[in-house]
């Protein structure tokens, strides 16, 4: 019995020291893993935030370029027919959209939907305005009709999308 008591006096403190050391080391390792994880998240945010901001900048530029006034100034040429202008406007929008398609990776789904809706609404306005004109109409007639249609709107679709994107960027920062 005396031997068992002596063995217990040696083993019990050793087990307590082992458990204390194990708890301390496991907490230390867990804290180190958490610190590394936070470091990685911080590093990613330092890398991703500027890229996301650049994507939002490019989308704002896209929306400005497909706004009706900008499109008409850029695309309309002297002597164009309404059909030619109609086709050129749609091609310009399609080209701009395809050029900025990859920006959706850095944007929220909701923001990307707002941008696609703005593009679709601009196309719808162009198609509607072109559809009511006779085939012999000039590009000037289509331009006038488009500007009149846009002026009747409370807010041009691209402006509404720009405001939404700006509010999302404000939340990001």
Q: Please, are residues 139 and 76 in contact by the beta-carbon 8 Å criterion?
A: yes
pLDDT value, residue 90: 97
pLDDT value, residue 87: 96
- Neighbour count for residue 90 (Cβ, 10 Å): 17
- Start-to-end CA span in the chain (Å): 72
pTM over 0.85? The answer is no
**DSSP code at position 136:** T
Per-residue pLDDT of the chain (173 residues), as tens digits, is 788 888 888 898 989 999 999 999 999 999 999 999 999 888 877 888 899 999 999 999 999 999 999 999 999 999 999 999 999 999 999 999 999 999 999 999 999 999 999 999 999 999 999 999 998 999 999 999 999 999 999 999 999 999 999 999 999 87
> Can you tell me which residue has the tokens 């002026």?
151
Give the C-alpha separation, 46 to 136, whole Å: 56
What are the φ/ψ torsions at residue 134 (nearest 5 degrees)? Answer: -70, 160
**DSSP code at position 77:** -
Give the C-alpha separation, 43 to 84, whole Å: 50
Helices assigned H by DSSP within 66-108: 68-75, 82-99
């Amino acid at each position: 019995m005396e031997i068992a008591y002596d063995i217990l006096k040696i083993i019990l403190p050793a087990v307590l020291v082992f458990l204390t050391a194990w708890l301390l080391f496991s907490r230390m390792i867990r804290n180190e893993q958490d610190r590394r994880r936070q470091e990685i998240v911080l590093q990613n945010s330092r890398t991703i935030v500027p890229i996301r901001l650049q994507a939002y900048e490019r989308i704002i530029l896209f929306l400005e370029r497909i706004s009706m006034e900008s499109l008409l100034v850029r695309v309309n040429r002297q002597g164009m027919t309404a059909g030619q202008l109609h086709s050129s406007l749609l091609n310009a929008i399609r080209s701009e959209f395809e050029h900025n398609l990859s920006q959706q990776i850095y944007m929220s789904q909701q923001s990307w939907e707002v941008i696609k809706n703005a593009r679709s609404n601009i196309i719808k306005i162009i198609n509607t305005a072109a559809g009511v004109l006779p085939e012999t109409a000039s590009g000037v007639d289509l331009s006038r009709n488009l500007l009149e249609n846009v002026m009747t709107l409370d807010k041009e679709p691209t402006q509404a999308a720009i405001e939404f994107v700006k509010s999302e960027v404000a939340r990001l920062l």
